[in-house]
A and B are shown apart, each in its own frame.
Chain A
Amino acid sequence: DIVMTQTPLSSPVTLGQPASISCRSSQSLVHSDGNTYLSWLQQRPGQPPRLLIYKISNRFSGVPDRFGGSGAGTDFTLRISRVEPEDVGVYYCMQATQFPLSFGGGTKVEIK
């Protein structure tokens, strides 16, 4: 099974400043079809998760361009260029390259 490890657990950030979350997988997420099925989700308090990024770096419809994803193989990063108040919540990475699908443990983004 692929284990997804996120760091940090918590990220206090100043409004308008950048934030960065790391996600590492226990094995390569490159699928046999050549794609890397690594996505990022945001979960605001009291809400279901919401897709931000799919296949490492593709923003989902309606996601602001201050969110960006990068990485390859086993190491991935979600960056928020300028944190806004509505960005408060927990962020999860997820792999869908191999069953069982798995999520990172989550990173809580809060305002300093």
Chain B
Amino acid sequence: EVELVESGGGLVQPGGSLRLSCVASGFTFSSYWMSWVRQVPGKGLEWVASSEQDSAQYYVDSVKGRFTIFRDSAKNSLYLQMNSLRAEDTAVYYCARSELGAFNYWGQGTLVTVSS
């Protein structure tokens, strides 16, 4: 059974940093694109970043230069390093597996709150 479990969210001050983690199980992690999607509570979904299998990374413009997506296949883990955080980065962050051009499995999400 595919499972994605995020962690690392919390309260951080503007300008601060946070690293999110997503531990994957039930599939061969290194074979799949993995992504982060965020959602401001009560609002819609926004794609944040994607990682091709151990190669290219892609980002939404609003996080380029501040966020880094990376993975550790030995630990079956996906990460999102978030620096220079802003109030508008406040959201629930979901880890998702990509296949056939869709996000077919999602974690439960981890809440990031950027506030002083």
Residues of the A chain whose Cβ atoms lie less than 8 Å from the Cβ of B94: 48-49
Give which listed residue, A31, A92, A101, contacts B44 with CB less than 8 A.
A92
- A57-112 interface with B by 8 A CB criterion: 58, 60, 92, 94, 96-97, 99-106
Residues of the B chain whose Cβ atoms lie less than 8 Å from the Cβ of A106: 44-45
Instruction: Please give the number of chain B residues whose Cβ is less than 8 angstroms from any Cβ of chain A in the complex.
Output: 23
Q: Tell me, rounded to whole Å, the shortest Cβ–Cβ distance linking B13 to chain A.
A: 27
Residues of the B chain whose Cβ atoms lie less than 8 Å from the Cβ of A105: 44
The answer for the CA separation of A39 and B100 in the assembled complex, in Å, is 10
Instruction: Please give the number of chain A residues whose Cβ is less than 8 angstroms from any Cβ of chain B in the complex.
Output: 26
A51 and B103 contacting across the interface, CB-CB below 8 Å: yes
Give which listed residue, B47, B58, B59, B108, contacts A48 with CB less than 8 A.
B108
- A13-72 interface with B by 8 A CB criterion: 31, 35, 37, 39, 41, 43, 48-51, 54-55, 58, 60
> Which B residues are within 8 Å of any A CB, using their own CB?
35, 37, 44-47, 50, 58-61, 94, 98, 100-109
